[in-house]
Amino acid sequence: MALRLGDLAPNFTAQTTEGPIDFHQWLGNSWGVLFSHPADYTPVCTTELGAVAKIRAEFDKRNVKAIAVSVDPLDSHHGWIKDINETQATNMNFPIIADEKREVATAYDMIHPNADDKATVRSVFVIGPDKKIKLTLTYPASTGRNFMEILRVIDSLQLTANHKVATPANWRHGEDCIVTPAVSDADAQKLFPKGVRKIKPYLRYTPQPNL
């Protein structure tokens, strides 16, 4: 069955380009981004892995570890990394899982047979420090992902995990947030000393509380 938000992210052991891992141990107290790609030595995937390597500092700043997975073997991954570094002007700095037996792909339902019965689709799982799934995304092979969007979502997830706010459409770090409906007006005044702007009883904005 497909994994849902709030489910425990399945643990696994695997060979990666940075050595063998036990996934939960490897995550430790960090947040995680586990993302699959259809195959090594393919153009869109090459740009995606290069894009993630380039924003490693942004993941570090947010205490997030990134890890990629495909059903190709380790020697293929190592050869491909040379191409990624060369063509994307970067240095790969996060592991790629070699999931030849499709154990990870199966546990995370990353093979969608009506799209492709062999390769993984472009799945993204954001996993919290409690090892629970906080966000899932699924893209087809033909569409590369926007990793700035994934950072934006992580900013929202980390903020809303600790404050009684939600983030509106197209929100970016630093912009006003929405007071969650369960908070009364009286409590909102106490919780958000920077002020609450009430547009409708159910639509109340406050400056981002953790800045």
The residues carrying an active-site annotation are 45
At residue 139, the 3 state secondary structure works out as strand
Determine contact, residues 207/194, Cβ cutoff 8 Å.
yes
Q: Is the CB of 25 or the CB of 142 nearer to ligand BEZ?
A: 142
Give 142 or 162: the residue with its C-beta nearer to ligand BEZ. 142
Angle subtended by helix axes 43-54 and 74-88, to nearest 10: 70
List contacts with ligand BEZ (CB under 6 A).
38-39, 42-45, 141-142
Which residue number, 117 or 186, has a Cβ lying nearer to ligand BEZ?
Answer: 117
Residue with tokens 């190709």: 72
CA–CA distance, 78 with 40 (Å, rounded to integer): 10
DSSP class of residue 30?
Answer: S
The distance of closest approach from Cβ of residue 207 to ligand BEZ in the complex, given in angstroms and rounded to an integer, is 41
- Taking the complex as a whole, the smallest distance from the CB of residue 44 to ligand BEZ amounts, in Å, to 3
Shortest spacing between CB 177 and ligand BEZ, in angstroms: 36
86-108: b or e for each residue (b if 16 or more CB lie within 10 Å)? eebebebebbbbbbeeebbbeeb
